[in-house]
Structure 1
Amino acid sequence: MGRKTNNKNTSKNNGGKQTDAASLARRILQFLDANFGEEFNSKQIIKKLEIRDALTKGGVEPVLSKLVEAGSVSRNPRNYYSSTQDPEFIEGIVDFVNPRFAFIVPLDPEKVDGDIMVKEADLKQALDGDKVRVMVYPLKGKTGRVEGKVLEVVQRSRDEFVGRVEISPRFAFIVPDFRKMHKDIFVHRGALNGAVHGEKVIVKLTEWREGDKNPTGEVIRVLGKAGEHEVEIHSIMAEFGLPFEYPEEPEKEAEAISEKITAKEIKKRKDFRDILTFTIDPADAKDFDDAISYRKLENGNHEIGIHIADVTHYVQPNTALEKEAYNRATSVYLVDRTIPMLPERLSNGLCSLRPNEDKLTFACVFEVDDEANVKKHWIGKTVIHSDRRYAYEDAQENIDNQSGDYFEELTLLNVMAKKIRQRRFKHGAVNFETVEVKFNLDEKGTPLGLIIKERKDIHKLIEEFMLLANKYVAEFIFNKNKGKDTFVYRTHDSPDMERLDTFSGFAKRFGHEFDIQNPNNVSNALNKLMEEIQGKPEQNVLEQLAIRSMAKAKYTTEPKGHFGLAFAHYSHFTSPIRRYPDMMVHRLLELYLENGKSPDAEAWEQKCVHSSEREKRAADAERASIKYKQVEFMSLAEDKDYDGIVAGITEWGVFVEITETKCEGMIRVQDMDDDYYDFDQKNMRLVGSKTKKMITLGDKVKVRVVNTDIDRRTIDLEFADNDRKKPRARPVR
């Protein structure tokens, strides 16, 4: 796609500097390509390119003549010039990375070499996330990137934003919280709807006229005083389009559902009410999706039942409940609250597998030997009566102390889970132990303390048995008709080797080897690295980088495998109270168990796509709420120097993760006044132009907090000293 210019003539300008004819030719070509279909004479080109010195002006005509000779430019009889190159037109999604430029991510990656860089002036009022039509320039830019300009906004991704009100005597602006919204929104004073200076609001875009620097909008909801906990959480909910309350109609439907379990219904199910059953969940949980039953069989084997709330028994198709569950698609767990997929009457009541109550469930029951090998399994409807509700901490304590209710059964299940887990990793599963941050909040929502959650054996026990059930359900359906029956799978593609190669480079800069010469050995190499960094300052940074280098797991009706778990087939069956895809799986599973006909895959695939999108929205909102509390926590924290690790480097700044709190902040290059730093993108480092001092990915540093911005959820840092410890010496090249 790129074309070359071979004109190497140079001429002196008045300042004695070299004016490169090749550089001038490139500028002219870029201008004409960017204005494909239009014609300009040499004077117009000089004016458009803002060429002011006489010598360069004099070089324009000769350069144009050479470009005409080369066939890169066309000249008509009136001496007007135009581009001869046929640009490519593609559609893509805007990633508005900073105020100066955006990248357009092509919808069809095959059509163009990478993302397309578009300068802010050429975005044609496109905003982050918008679907746009782009003209790709035939000539690459100075950085070697593909460049282009937006021709039209095909579809706005959003027209509502959360922001802070700024009022002056004559006009008002809303300063958006969203970091990728780089334009303040003008609001006529009459469209403020009662909002006052400093309040958080939701503003809707109403107009953006050609030539206007900023869009115009109107306030549609006043959230309250900026900085208050409830207001900031509501701001995050509004930013991600999360619902503030449950609609009335599905709530009424939920209230009308009878709690009574009839004898007729029980007869349709296997009765596990007399078999030891318990739930293990977080201490503050109320929506108990899953229970485990256990008994020793006469033949010496063990029966382990994974019983899942039978949500679709209560939520019927074509009801308001069903429609709202589909719309939400997942429960969202913010830092201080849960936004449930189902009304509380179902999520915390009828469907929740509370102790000492008969409950309807869908189960996967396994018979295993002493080595945790599955000898038999059965899938079907059950009724249970949970004997005990454990918090994770209580169950772990029983195992550790070898005392308390059912400690022997818990210990045996733990041994079984470890054997299953060991086999899973032996078969190629990847072991990501991601760091999870929680906060102790007071009654006003102020963070009093930060907790790094530790995953113990009991968490892994529950995880292994849920994975086992999900795997067997998916395999059961796939094997039933060789994958031809419509079903909802959870798939995870193999990683792209180029991205892994990039990650390998990152790992090396942290002082770790990640050998991916053999593509079939990626899982083992990842697990070796994850084990090596366990407990080290760089653990969280490298785990996050590794996860980003992986493909994203998704829901689909295509029966593909799951790379991360090393399963040929996998599904989500075990959390229907909080995930809509699990409800879909329950419905299809029941259909096939009753020998029903496979439904049309297309409609189910659309539901899968919707569910994957909602899952991402939930994850983004959860991260935003944690980041908000991290920023607030650091704003209140002791004024001291913190140990940190360089987690990312760009041309405009250094990202540092504070080891103690896992909070990430940024040191801006413009604030680093000890030298002028050049960005070495290839080696991901900044190099001082005078001192040759390097700041490199993985460096251990001391930092202090300079500023925190709750609205943008950012932390500004500065280096506390200049003595940076490195994982190993790196010579300047």
Structure 2
Amino acid sequence: MAKNKSANIKLVLNQLVSDVFEKNSNQPLNYKQVSAKLNLNDQESRETILEVLKEGKSAGIFLEPEKGKFKLKELQNFLTGRVDMTADGSAYIIPDDEFEKDVFVAPRKLKNALHGDSVKVYVFAKKHGRKNDGEVIEIIKRAKSDFTGVIKISERFAFVIADDKKMMHDIFVPLSDTLGAKNGQRVLVGLTDWPEGAKNPIGTVKHVLGDQGENNTEMNAILAQYGFPLSFPPAVEKEADAIPEEISETEIAKRKDFREILTFTIDPADAKDFDDAISYQKLPNGNHEIGVHIADVSHYVHQGTELDKEAYSRATSVYLVDRVIPMLPERLSNGVCSLRPHEDKLCFAAVFELDDEANIKSEWYGKTVIHSDRRFSYEEAQEVIENKEGDHSSEILKLNELAHILRERKFKNGAISFESTEVKFKLDENGKPIGVYVKERKDAHKLIEDYMLLANRKVAEFIATELKGKNKLTFVYRVHDSPNMETLNTFANFASRFGYKINTKSDKEIAKSLNHLMADVEGKKEQNVLTSLAIRSMAKAIYTTKKTSHYGLAFEYYTHFTSPIRRYPDVMVHRLLQDYLAGEKSADAEFYEVASAHSSAMEKRAAEAERASIKYKQAEYLEENVGNVYAGIITGVTEWGMYVEIEENKCEGMVRLREISDDFYVLDEKNYCIIGQRKKKKYQLGDEVTIKVKKVDLAKRQIDFSLVI
């Protein structure tokens, strides 16, 4: 232990000493001068620094150009980056500086760093022909300290085998810290210590999730694995419970009153949180006033409160297969803020006057009070559209007619229509999947989407152009960059094999040809493959204060204003818009940029959790079908296998390359295929194959197929 401690001190000193040379333009210095610059002037420290310099010289870190004087052999021997763990326990450090090369770190030199951690590494002097390699000297920030896994309990101790494949170490848990967990149960464990030289970290069980295979256990395990809390802290619930549902006359007097104007919501049949409503009235001049009324969450959730801190931390609601984990406590998300029918509700609205060609004649932004006349499900609204009769049919048909014009204009301007199939599960009372179906998107869905897009676009445009005056106002935008042309060209080459042409000459031509492609593939077996590859060739949309356009929607200005019950960026947008309408100065850009980056990261994490829940339900559904044979389509290829999606039920599993017995297959990444080395047989993305369900591992959410050749 003492030896390890000494080595560790020397590593840190190595860094400090190197910093001295870097700060002094790498001028030769003796050990006394280095000690003085570090304010380490006692004899013992000086001798240690001399040792560091001599050992560093032997290791090729320092040079001794003249007797007793040293300098760095190379500048910048240290860098910071993120740990990317490999399957054998070694890692690559992805540098924060994008111009630096990745650094290989052997398992014994990781200093207990885990996948995703931010670390500082010492990069060894590069030997001829060898890759960059180094040693972790400091863990700057842990990516995560909580892990889900299965607990194994013996008479003297317990340990948790983590679900995370990149967590290479079992976590030791003292028997006193097991929280009553039983052997084999799934738990959430938090790391508490990792003693110097110890092989395994020490942890304590924070939550017993339950028995493996139970629906609640597995869904909670997914939430915990991706860092989403399983409940709200008492202080947050207390704040939520203290908010009154009643609206005072004083508050109503401050707002534009829409309670006498026809207003309704259109949402999924099982929705409980209604955060947007549409109002409609025909004006005396023949134009149409359409109000997009959004739940006024920022009226109830004030910056700096416990409610606000929790909402910021979560940043988004999470939608698993069988449940919603809300960003706000139920009292707000399903109660006070939810725009339920036949109740007075407070809103923040974007109100537009449109002519018969859906041209905007005027617009207004501000606080409103509404009284929703009707709560439509998508199916009910669709019936009205198709049958041209029913509650408020004339108003809904006019709204639908105008929405069609807005939609066509959007695509004409270069927006891209990605219509991938969305799979839903029919669940029994225990959450077990008993059926799979594909969700259809019809006019009722698109109508609501078109008016939400209109509000989001015009709010962003209003801030960026109307209100800015001489100064740019800090705002939270939703931006989407142009695609990487190299990636897009690769996709275009692949799509051409199916007979589809992608014109990459200009942004408009790209959008036009992608829309033709999306229309042509609808309902065909290759739809999901080509749609998902097209989406992957695009940049990812993010939140930022740096205004750029939204490529996918072809909007120069875009934000998220319409869902503050379930997205924190929308809450920030409401606050900023209200401040600027009141004449306030521009807000702190740094705070909102950090908050935007956090929201983007949490959005990605929520999407991963949702995918994990779908994977689990797919595995659970196919568990009853092991041995069955299905027609499938190849949806992905990797160096270890190919992913196949069953056409009948859209469940996806893997055929492992080592188990295809007629040849030795290798990956051809460029051409999205695997090729047999002797017979040259090829399996390509989009090919139809016949598979048998070989094995299902619920705990790992894995489905294994075998090829029926």
Which SS does the other structure have where 2:364 is aligned? strand
- Measure how far apart 1:685 and its partner are: 2.8
TM-score w.r.t. length of structure 2: 0.84
Report the counterpart of residue 197 of structure 1 in structure 2.
183
Find out whether 1:148 has 2:136 as its counterpart. Answer: no
Aligned equivalent of 2:260, options 274, 292, 301: 274
Report the counterpart of residue 535 of structure 1 in structure 2.
523
Report the counterpart of residue 48 of structure 2 in structure 1.
none
Residues 529 and 685 in structure 2, CA contact (< 8 A), matched pair in contact too: no
- Measure how far apart 1:345 and its partner are: 1.8
1:677 partner amino acid: Y
Aligned equivalent of 1:645, options 625, 633, 637: 633
Distance 1:97 1:524 in 2: 41
Which SS does the other structure have where 2:608 is aligned? helix
- Measure how far apart 1:122 and its partner are: 5.8
Aligned equivalent of 1:684, options 662, 665, 672: 672
Aligned equivalent of 1:108, options 69, 93, 97: 97
Report the counterpart of residue 320 of structure 1 in structure 2.
306
Which SS does the other structure have where 1:363 is aligned? strand
Inter-CA distance 663–290: structure 2 relative to 1 (3 Å threshold): same
- Measure how far apart 1:228 and its partner are: 0.7
- Measure how far apart 1:265 and its partner are: 2.1
Distance 2:507 2:376 in 1: 42
Which SS does the other structure have where 1:111 is aligned? coil
- Measure how far apart 1:401 and its partner are: 1.4
Residues 132 and 150 in structure 1, CA contact (< 8 A), matched pair in contact too: no
Distance 1:102 1:658 in 2: 35
1:717 partner amino acid: F
- Measure how far apart 1:162 and its partner are: 0.6
Inter-CA distance 706–209: structure 2 relative to 1 (3 Å threshold): farther
Find out whether 1:221 has 2:221 as its counterpart. Answer: no
Q: Please, which runs of 5 or more residues in structure 2 have no aligned partner?
A: 1-54, 66-71
- Measure how far apart 1:403 and its partner are: 1.6
- Deviations for 1:64-113, whole angstroms, at most 9, x for unmatched residues? xxxxxxxxxx9x9xxxxxx988786543223335346555433222333x
Residues 413 and 508 in structure 2, CA contact (< 8 A), matched pair in contact too: no
2:407 partner amino acid: R
Larger deviation: 228-237 or 169-178? 169-178
- Deviations for 1:160-182, whole angstroms, at most 9, x for unmatched residues? 21111235677644222123334
Find out whether 1:426 has 2:412 as its counterpart. Answer: yes
- Measure how far apart 1:219 and its partner are: 3.0
Residues 509 and 696 in structure 1, CA contact (< 8 A), matched pair in contact too: no
Residues 89 and 168 in structure 2, CA contact (< 8 A), matched pair in contact too: no
Larger deviation: 441-450 or 678-687? 678-687
- Deviations for 1:409-437, whole angstroms, at most 9, x for unmatched residues? 11111111111011111111111113222
Find out whether 1:133 has 2:120 as its counterpart. Answer: yes
- Deviations for 1:566-606, whole angstroms, at most 9, x for unmatched residues? 11111111111111111111111111111122222212222
- Measure how far apart 1:208 and its partner are: 4.5
- Measure how far apart 1:372 and its partner are: 1.0
Report the counterpart of residue 96 of structure 1 in structure 2.
85
Report the counterpart of residue 509 of structure 2 in structure 1.
521
Residues 510 and 697 in structure 1, CA contact (< 8 A), matched pair in contact too: no
Alignment of 1:396-435 (within 5 A): 396-435=382-421
Which SS does the other structure have where 2:99 is aligned? helix
Distance 2:654 2:109 in 1: 28
Residues 123 and 149 in structure 1, CA contact (< 8 A), matched pair in contact too: no
Find out whether 1:564 has 2:564 as its counterpart. Answer: no
Distance 1:554 1:605 in 2: 11
Report the counterpart of residue 261 of structure 1 in structure 2.
247
Alignment of 1:5-44 (within 5 A): none
Report the counterpart of residue 13 of structure 1 in structure 2.
none
Report the counterpart of residue 21 of structure 2 in structure 1.
none
- Measure how far apart 1:232 and its partner are: 0.8
Residues 644 and 654 in structure 2, CA contact (< 8 A), matched pair in contact too: yes
2:183 partner amino acid: H
- Deviations for 1:657-697, whole angstroms, at most 9, x for unmatched residues? 22223222111222222222233334333222222222222
- Deviations for 1:291-318, whole angstroms, at most 9, x for unmatched residues? 1111111211111111111112222233
- Deviations for 1:117-166, whole angstroms, at most 9, x for unmatched residues? 66656655432211233566887999x9x653442433221122111123
- Measure how far apart 1:210 and its partner are: 6.4
1:148 partner amino acid: D
Inter-CA distance 361–193: structure 2 relative to 1 (3 Å threshold): closer
Distance 2:521 2:292 in 1: 34
Residues 134 and 148 in structure 1, CA contact (< 8 A), matched pair in contact too: no
Find out whether 1:658 has 2:650 as its counterpart. Answer: no
Larger deviation: 281-290 or 182-191? 182-191
Distance 1:116 1:305 in 2: 55
Distance 2:418 2:403 in 1: 17
Residues 86 and 138 in structure 1, CA contact (< 8 A), matched pair in contact too: no
Report the counterpart of residue 692 of structure 2 in structure 1.
704
Inter-CA distance 240–264: structure 2 relative to 1 (3 Å threshold): same
TM-score w.r.t. length of structure 1: 0.82
Residues 87 and 137 in structure 1, CA contact (< 8 A), matched pair in contact too: no
- Measure how far apart 1:499 and its partner are: 2.6
Q: Please, which runs of 5 or more residues in structure 1 have no aligned partner?
A: 1-35, 42-73, 77-82, 722-733
Aligned equivalent of 2:438, options 452, 461, 471: 452
1:108 partner amino acid: D
Distance 1:312 1:85 in 2: 54
Which SS does the other structure have where 1:238 is aligned? helix
Distance 2:343 2:270 in 1: 19
Which SS does the other structure have where 1:503 is aligned? helix
Residues 105 and 136 in structure 2, CA contact (< 8 A), matched pair in contact too: no
Find out whether 1:589 has 2:574 as its counterpart. Answer: no
Aligned equivalent of 1:343, options 329, 340, 356: 329
Which SS does the other structure have where 1:647 is aligned? strand
